[in-house]
Amino acid sequence: MVEISTSILSVKKGEETSTFFELETAKTDYFHIDVMDGKFVEKNTYQKMLENASYIKRISSLPLDVHLMVEDVKTAIDDFLAVEPNTITFHLEACKNKEEVYDFIEYIKKNNCKVGISVKPNTNIEEVFEFLPYIHMCLVMTVEPGKGGQTFLTDMLEKIKKLKEYITTQKLDTDIEVDGGINLKTAPEVKKAGANILVAGTAIIMANNFKTIINELKA
Ligand code: DX5
Ligand code: ZN
């Protein structure tokens, strides 16, 4: 059964509280926290996401799935560890070298948090293979990171399949999370390709019944 991680990026201003309560009732598996620093990607959601995450932490016991789209990964890890997330995912493209990737993996784990690595659409999936045995989840971006409501990049299906094949042959149990343009049309394709955690923002937030859309995405 796949899990759903609802991105709160597109939650309408002023409706945050009611939306978070409704998502908690609708039993999203995770709250997906999209942290953007205005450098790695154009938008800056850093403070807003820190506030939203700490608020959700207070009202819900559902896990936080933090997606760092930042250049200064170490600072962001420290800032978001404060909201005790389930997982912290950083971008491979934000790391200077392999040593730094291993340092971040170890540092996140040492702080009792699961670790994910995310790859942008133009990054070859083979570049993440060596880290897979040491991480809990690989986040395959199915849109260019930076904003919600974009169209799913179908070329990414091949990439997800290749990742799933490698994880299977290497007998790893790393989760495959996909993120961007996931809706009732694209969900079946990414599930077939091997994804087991789907991030959805617009598709859920714009729906009039969160429980229904979450169950339909899972089906
Ligand atoms: C984009 C974010 C995604 C995005 C998903 O940079 O990482 O999580 O918010 O939103 P939708 O589902 O609307 O594409
Ligand atoms: Zn995201």
Domain coordinates of the chain in residue numbers?
3-218
180 lines ligand 1 (CB under 6 A): yes
From 7, 28, 31, 202, the mutation candidate for ligand 1 (largest count of ligand atoms within 8 A of CB) is 7
- Could you say which ligand is closest to the alpha carbon of residue 202? 1
State whether the beta carbon of 121 lies less than 6 angstroms from ligand 1.
Answer: no
| Separation of CA 136 and ligand 1 centre (Å) | 20
Residues of the chain with pLDDT under 70: none
Backbone conformation region of residue 194, classed left if phi is above 0, alpha if psi is from -120 to 50, else beta: left
Q: Which residues are catalytic?
A: 34, 179
34 Cβ inside 6 Å of ligand 1:
yes
Q: Residue for token digits 């784990």?
A: 109
What's the 33 CA to ligand 2 centre distance in angstroms?
Answer: 7
Q: Which atom of ligand 1 is nearest to the CA of 146?
A: 6
Dist. CA 182–CA 187, nearest whole Å? 6
- Asked if 4 contacts 178 with a C-beta cutoff of 8 angstroms, the reply is no
What pLDDT, in 10s, does the model give residues 82-135? 999 999 999 999 999 999 999 999 999 999 999 999 999 999 999 999 999 999
Q: Which structure tokens are listed for 19?
A: 């939306």
SS3 161: helix
User: How far is Cα 155 from Cα 142, in angstroms, rounded to an integer?
Assistant: 8
- CB of 9 shorter than 6 A to ligand 1: yes
Q: Is 181 in the pocket of ligand 1 (CB under 6 A)?
A: yes
Is the CB of residue 179 below 6 angstroms from any atom belonging to ligand 1? yes
How many angstroms separate the alpha carbon of residue 179 from the centre of ligand 2?
Answer: 6
Provide CATH code, domain 3-218. 3.20.20.70
Which residues are close to ligand 2, an ion, with C-beta < 5 A? Answer: 34, 67, 179
Ligand in closest contact with the CA of 153: 1
Contact 8, 34 (CB under 8 A): yes
Burial 147-158 (b: 16+ CB within 10 A, else e): bbeeebbeebbe
Give me the half-sphere count of Cα atoms (radius 13 Å) on the Cβ side of residue 91. 26
